[in-house]
């Protein structure tokens, strides 16, 4: 069933759907991943969406438009993925985080199609630490944008794949330190021949370059307030400009020891000196948080710094000299300075998309026989970033607690089967409350939802057997199946109260999205 890239199936691409920037890549005939430029001729598309009176803008133009009209724009929507409460209302329409992300995907897809032909299928990357709801939201965003999502792949795994393949890196264990615009992950990955095996991962989905920007925003606003007794943070437009200046200044301080930043508000003009030392001092605690996580992950992987072959930085924020210094201090080895930190995630996603296509179709006509044979041998193994647990009543303390079923850092896919017995005659219902996390206190975990096993026939005596299988698939998504063991049939699979859109809501959003044009 070989399909031409321009055929009905179209290309399979990799998309790095980032907090601040998104990128799309495909693999060329030789199997090399190549980033595709957008309509503005740039490889990185700002993940900003602006609603104008005439349409929807995404990227550089949206960023500019948003400065003049911040209330009609969305930045950093990735941070809201999986948040059922977040909605953006504009011109009588309500958007979910999935819907806004779909607009970004639509833009990178349509711009890339000009260069590489129709795109139908994609692998989209997620931070390794994304939980089930955030992973589902990402998959749904892809579907809403009209893509068949071949797989969701962890960003550090994608980086390791791109890095390892591009350089034919020797076998060994690497640490991928991934600090992007909005999220942070550390992952320990072992390369063994054609296998890329994740040993452990941890992170923070609310820590990234944006937090460093915020420190600069506050530093500048405080300086301005001290001089003029006015605070630019009080006005959304002035604040939007301040964020842009702060990010610019931060980037300059990666290259220079000091910079000057102009700030204007209510007719006052300030021009402030900002040094790298000052910047590092106000963001020291953020860096320290990444250090703590890094050390913890190594311990969980059972690897010492001396046992590491390589430290691979990825994500734009690893350009900050303080990050490089920290990695060198901790590891005692030079950090791979030659990694294109912005590109490896999308490149790895493109390689993974090619691998998925090869598995699905047997061959891809756009790949040479040699490349297909080489990529076809590659295997990646991920781990669960979060434990999966069940809330149970402790017989001893009579308190509810989290009973961990699948521990964190278990190789995926993974499943566990438990058999329960009904405790009363005629009992027809068993309620199972599932969480992600390993804290004993139920409230300290992420609620996934409830499996209501209601299909048990009436009139059975107590002691009827119900077999429940809890699983993580390869993507880190949760599935639960309850079986009436005595009758040998599946009676429940639907997790209620689960965050995210229902299948019919995704289909309806996709229909509406197909009518929308994005520039």
Instruction: Please give the residue ranges that form the binding site for ligand AMP (CB under 6 A).
Output: 18-21, 180-181, 209-210, 247, 250-251, 254, 315-317, 319-320, 342
- Whether 26 and 36 have beta carbons less than 8 Å apart is answered as yes
- φ, ψ of residue 403 in degrees (nearest 5): -100, 110
Q: What is the 8-class DSSP label of residue 494?
A: P
Q: Which of 98, 139, 178, 483 is catalytic?
A: 178
User: Closer CB to ligand AMP, residue 132 or residue 155?
Assistant: 155
Find the shortest distance in angstroms from Cβ 457 to ligand AMP: 53
Find the shortest distance in angstroms from Cβ 127 to ligand AMP: 10
Among this protein's residues, is 273 annotated catalytic? Answer: no
Q: How large is the angle between the packed helices 97-116 and 503-514, nearest 10 degrees? A: 50
The two most distant CA atoms of the chain are separated, in Å, by: 80
Find the shortest distance in angstroms from Cβ 15 to ligand AMP: 13
Residue with smallest beta-carbon separation from ligand AMP? 209
Rounded to whole angstroms, the Cα distance separating 499 from 39 reads: 35
User: Closer CB to ligand AMP, residue 281 or residue 431?
Assistant: 281
User: Closer CB to ligand AMP, residue 256 or residue 268?
Assistant: 256
Among this protein's residues, is 16 annotated catalytic? Answer: yes
Q: What is the 8-class DSSP label of residue 334?
A: -
Q: Which of 78, 106, 310, 475 is catalytic?
A: 78
Q: Which of 9, 16, 151, 484 is catalytic?
A: 16
User: Closer CB to ligand AMP, residue 289 or residue 491?
Assistant: 289
- φ, ψ of residue 296 in degrees (nearest 5): -65, -40
Half-sphere exposure (CA, 13 Å, Cβ side) for 461? 1
CA-based nearest residue to 31, from 352, 330, 325? 352
Alpha helices in 175-320 (DSSP H): 209-228, 236-255, 276-301
Structure tokens at 196: 């890329």
46: helix, strand or coil: strand
User: Closer CB to ligand AMP, residue 279 or residue 472?
Assistant: 279
Among this protein's residues, is 155 annotated catalytic? Answer: yes
Find the shortest distance in angstroms from Cβ 225 to ligand AMP: 24
Among this protein's residues, is 78 annotated catalytic? Answer: yes
Q: Which of 131, 140, 151, 155 is catalytic?
A: 155
Find the shortest distance in angstroms from Cβ 180 to ligand AMP: 3
CA-based nearest residue to 330, from 306, 300, 299? 306
371: helix, strand or coil: helix
**Burial zone of 254 (CB within 10 Å; 0-12 exposed, 13-18 middle, 19+ buried):** middle
Find the shortest distance in angstroms from Cβ 384 to ligand AMP: 24
- Whether 126 and 149 have beta carbons less than 8 Å apart is answered as no
User: Closer CB to ligand AMP, residue 210 or residue 460?
Assistant: 210
Q: Which pairing describes strands 119-126 and 11-17: parallel, antiparallel, or unpaired? A: parallel
Find the shortest distance in angstroms from Cβ 237 to ligand AMP: 21
CB atoms within 10 A of CB 339: 21
User: Closer CB to ligand AMP, residue 131 or residue 342?
Assistant: 342
Active-site residue set: 16, 78, 155, 178
């Amino acid at each position: 069933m070989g399909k031409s890239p321009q055929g009905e199936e179209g290309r399979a691409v990799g998309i790095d759907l980032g907090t601040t920037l998104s990128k799309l890549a495909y693999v060329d005939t030789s199997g090399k991943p190549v980033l595709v430029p957008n309509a503005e001729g740039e490889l990185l598309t700002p993940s900003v969406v602006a609603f104008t009176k005439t349409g929807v803008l995404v990227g550089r133009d949206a960023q500019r438009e948003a400065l003049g009209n911040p209330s009609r724009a969305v930045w950093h929507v990735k941070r809201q993925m999986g948040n059922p409460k977040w909605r953006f209302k504009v011109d009588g329409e309500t958007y979910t985080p999935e819907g806004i992300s779909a607009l970004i995907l639509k833009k990178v897809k349509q711009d890339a199609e000009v260069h590489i032909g129709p795109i139908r299928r994609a692998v989209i990357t997620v931070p390794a630490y994304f939980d089930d709801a955030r992973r589902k939201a990402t998959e749904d965003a892809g579907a809403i944008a009209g893509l068949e999502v071949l797989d969701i792949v962890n960003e550090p795994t994608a980086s390791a794949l791109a890095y390892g393949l591009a350089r034919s890196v020797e076998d060994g264990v690497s640490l991928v330190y991934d600090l992007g615009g909005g999220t942070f992950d550390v992952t320990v990955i072992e390369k063994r021949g054609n296998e890329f095996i994740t040993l452990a991962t941890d992170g923070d989905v609310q820590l990234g370059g944006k937090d460093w920007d915020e420190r600069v925003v506050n530093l500048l606003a405080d300086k301005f307030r001290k001089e003029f007794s006015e605070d630019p943070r009080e006005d959304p437009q002035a604040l939007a400009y301040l964020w842009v200046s702060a990010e610019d200044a931060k980037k300059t301080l990666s290259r220079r020891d000091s910079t000057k930043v102009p700030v204007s508000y209510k007719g006052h003009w300030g021009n402030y000196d900002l040094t790298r030392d000052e910047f590092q001092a106000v963001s020291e605690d953020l860096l320290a948080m990444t250090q703590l996580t890094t050390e913890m992950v190594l311990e969980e992987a059972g690897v010492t710094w001396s046992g590491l072959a390589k430290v691979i930085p990825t994500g734009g924020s690893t350009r900050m000299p303080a990050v490089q210094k920290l990695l060198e201090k901790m590891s005692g080895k030079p950090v791979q300075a030659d990694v294109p930190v912005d590109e490896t995630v999308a490149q790895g996603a493109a390689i993974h998309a090619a691998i998925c296509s090869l598995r699905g179709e047997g061959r891809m006509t756009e790949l040479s026989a040699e490349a297909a044979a080489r990529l076809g041998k590659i295997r990646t193994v991920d781990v669960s970033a979060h434990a999966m647990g069940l809330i149970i009543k402790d017989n001893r303390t009579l308190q509810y607690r989290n009973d961990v079923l699948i521990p964190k850092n278990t190789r995926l896919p993974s499943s566990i089967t438990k058999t329960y017995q009904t405790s009363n005659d005629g009992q027809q219902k068993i309620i199972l409350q599932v969480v992600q996390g390993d804290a004993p206190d139920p409230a300290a975990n992420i609620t996934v939802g409830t499996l209501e096993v209601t299909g048990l026939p009436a009139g059975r005596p107590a002691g009827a057997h119900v077999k429940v299988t809890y699983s993580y698939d390869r993507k880190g998504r949760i599935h639960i199946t309850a079986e009436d063991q005595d009758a040998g049939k599946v009676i429940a699979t639907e997790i209620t109260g689960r965050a995210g859109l229902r299948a019919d809501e995704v289909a309806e959003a996709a229909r509406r999205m197909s009518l929308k044009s994005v520039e």
